[in-house]
């Protein structure tokens, strides 16, 4: 199970207790150092995702700062880190290529407004419909995506405008530094917890590289991160219907991807920290953050599972760590760019590889052999689609497959026990839900031609779920009516009674006994759905 795996990883490398705010001096130090670690890891990610989207690196860095700061202050889950993400960048690139960066800013503003609306309408609660196999696939898929993204740092410019994979000495040096960083992160918690293990790994490896002048790629080789404060900027696009038609599809897709990734990350972080988060509050926070970011020249963003894991495993438990991460990132842009640009990419790659190891649900390989075949297919499907396309598509596909499998399993449950009463009536005691998937099986239970003049359908162990069920009952009543026979319904629960009564199918308008203390029979009126046939 992904949650238990992440919880175990967090327990192994983070403090044994999570201090409540207000924090002690030691707690504040832990939160600040955790924020610093996250900020260092954010720099290459934000720059890389800006390149993916086809925009200037500062557009990604400003997004990481603004989205991270706002969601840290008003988000639904303390401990989460938000910023520019690859899941959004791969959607943005086609918009930027076709229409330019100003349309991206307008799209991010509309994306934020859509997310705010989703939060105000309490749509965040629908994240509960995401089944556990989809969560497993989500965790594994994102872990693979994070890992694959680090491989780009093993490529160097080839002098012809492209990039080539490292080889020989540079590759050996890069790998050695990555392994060294991972080893430090693994060993450090066993020696001391005064400094977050990822920060220690970055600091020690950076000191070695800078001190001995080791020639390896550094943050500055990606791009300069030097810049000023983000300034207010209204997107320079025509305010007309054509612009709206251009940006709306992208805004909806980006809003959906951002909310899905943020809410799933919220659930996982909540499981690790043992605290519940507000899904709808997180939707509003993401929306406000993206709306503001669009007006300040940022590319927008959402929750980042990798950086959130770094924060949690470094001891960050309150909003202070996430706020500190955003402010540290801004200070890098304003004051410390020359120093940060000297950090070797190998150290940051090592940190992210440890995140991958801790995030991937390794026990899912064992789970695949024990769960139903459909759930195993969903786990693999969501993982593969997440890697191949995007998270939103993967989650929607996983939910649809899971829902169809559930519907099929329930459709096969419909059956009936038959008995006759002393007055000669035949009673069909139906068991299993009556809904769109089971209507054919329901109809096959009855034999109107050979049944007596009075037939009773007992729903004590069944439920009438939807319009297809209503139509099936009406069609059955019409079959008996055509033969001059009477069909009655018995033991309707209150919700089923209201459903049939509203549809105009009950001849007798009488409340059923919810405790089934008496048997109330309802005659069925055919014709309510006749026009649909």
d(CA 233, CA 526): 63
CB 261 within 8 A of CB 303: yes
Q: What tokens does 221 get?
A: 């080789």
Q: What is the pLDDT of residue 522?
A: 62
Q: Is 464 helix (H, G, I), strand (E, B) or coil?
A: strand
- Global confidence as pTM: 0.76
Residue 528, number of CB atoms within 10 A of its CB: 18
Q: What is the pLDDT of residue 471?
A: 86
Q: What tokens does 98 get?
A: 């076709």
Cα distance between the two ends of the chain = 46
Q: What tokens does 488 get?
A: 């009655």
Q: What is the DSSP string of 344-392?
A: BHHHHHHHHHHHHHHHS-TTHHHHTTTS-HHHHHHHHHHHHHHHHS-HH
CB 41 within 8 A of CB 332: no
Q: Is 426 helix (H, G, I), strand (E, B) or coil?
A: strand
Q: What is the pLDDT of residue 7?
A: 45
Q: What is the DSSP string of 223-273?
A: --------------S--SHHHHHHHHHHHHHHHHHHHHHHHHHHHHHHHHH
CB 257 within 8 A of CB 108: no
Q: Which residue has the tokens 């930027």?
A: 96
**pLDDT lower than 50: segments of the chain:** 1-3, 5-21, 507-519, 531-533
């Amino acid at each position: 199970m992904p949650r238990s795996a992440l919880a175990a990883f967090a327990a192994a490398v983070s403090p044994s207790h999570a201090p409540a705010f207000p924090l002690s001096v030691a707690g504040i130090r832990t939160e600040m150092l955790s924020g610093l670690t996250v900020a260092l890891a954010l720099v290459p990610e934000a720059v890389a995702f800006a390149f993916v989207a086809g925009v200037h690196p500062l557009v990604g860095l400003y997004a990481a700062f603004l989205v991270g700061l706002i969601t840290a202050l008003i988000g639904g889950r303390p401990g989460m880190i938000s910023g520019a993400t690859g899941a959004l960048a791969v959607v943005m690139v086609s918009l930027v290529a076709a229409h330019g960066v100003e349309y991206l800013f307008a799209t991010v503003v509309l994306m934020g407004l859509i997310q705010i609306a989703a939060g105000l309408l309490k749509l965040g609660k629908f994240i509960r419909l995401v089944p556990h196999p989809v969560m497993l696939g989500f965790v594994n898929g994102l872990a693979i995506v994070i890992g694959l993204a680090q491989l780009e740092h093993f490529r160097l410019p080839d002098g012809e405008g492209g990039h080539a994979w490292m080889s020989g000495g540079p590759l050996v040096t890069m790998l050695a530094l990555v392994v060294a960083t991972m080893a430090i992160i693994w060993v450090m918690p066993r020696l001391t917890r005064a400094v977050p293990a990822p920060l220690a790994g970055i600091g020690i490896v950076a000191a070695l590289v800078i001190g001995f002048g080791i020639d390896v790629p550094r943050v500055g080789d990606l791009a300069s991160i030097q810049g000023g404060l983000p300034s207010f900027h209204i997107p320079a696009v025509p305010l007309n219907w054509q612009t709206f038609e251009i940006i709306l599809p992208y805004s909806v897709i980006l809003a959906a991807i951002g909310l899905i990734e943020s809410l799933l990350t919220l659930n996982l972080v909540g499981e690790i920290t043992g605290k519940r988060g507000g899904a709808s509050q997180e939707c509003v926070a993401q929306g406000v953050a993206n709306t503001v970011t669009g007006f300040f020249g940022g590319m927008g963003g959402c929750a980042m599972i990798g950086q959130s894991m770094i924060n949690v495993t470094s001891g960050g438990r309150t909003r202070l760590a996430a706020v500190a991460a955003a402010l540290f990132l801004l200070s890098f842009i304003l004051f410390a760019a020359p120093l940060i640009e000297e950090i070797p990419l190998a150290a940051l790659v090592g940190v992210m590889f440890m995140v991958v190891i801790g995030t991937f649900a390794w026990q899912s390989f064992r789970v695949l052999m024990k769960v139903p075949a459909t759930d195993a297919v969903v786990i693999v499907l969501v993982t593969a689609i997440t890697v191949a396309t995007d998270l939103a598509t993967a989650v929607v596909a996983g939910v649809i497959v899971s829902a169809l499998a559930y519907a099929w399993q329930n459709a096969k449950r419909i059956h009936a026990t038959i008995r006759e009463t002393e007055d000669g009536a035949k009673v069909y005691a139906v068991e299993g839900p009556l809904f769109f998937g089971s209507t054919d099986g329901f109809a096959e239970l009855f034999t109107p031609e050979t049944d007596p003049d009075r037939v009773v359908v007992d729903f004590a162990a069944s439920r009438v779920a939807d319009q297809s069920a209503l139509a099936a009952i009406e069609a059955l009543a019409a079959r008996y009516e055509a033969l001059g026979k009477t069909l009655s319904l018995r033991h309707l629960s209150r919700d089923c009674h209201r459903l049939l009564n509203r549809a105009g199918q009950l001849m007798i308008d009488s409340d059923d006994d919810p405790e089934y203390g008496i048997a109330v029979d309802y005659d069925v009126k055919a014709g309510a759905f006749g026009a649909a046939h």
